[in-house]
Amino acid sequence: MVLYIEASDETMTNRLLERGKSSGRVDDNEETIKKRLETFHQVTKPVIDHYAAQNKLKMVDSEQHPDEVFADVKCILEGKPSN
């Protein structure tokens, strides 16, 4: 089983830009984030598709409240249906 916690590019960009305000990381800027997301999608999409085709992929929507994300992940790891 593969667990994939999905977030939109917009959400990831916003989260990384917010992190950059306190992390001191110079690579948390829009241009670099865009390139990192492009690379992520190019490399990850075929892997996600592969496991989805085998019915071995479990996805969690990280756009939810963090407590809901945690509950969904916990259910998956415990082999229970998500709420």
Rg (CA), the chain: 15
What is the predicted pLDDT for the residue at 83? 61
What is the predicted pLDDT for the residue at 24? 83
**Residue 61: which of 47, 51, 71 has the closest Cα?**
71
What pLDDT, in 10s, does the model give residues 7-42?
A: 999 999 999 999 988 988 888 899 999 999 999 999
In 24-65, alpha helices (H): 30-53
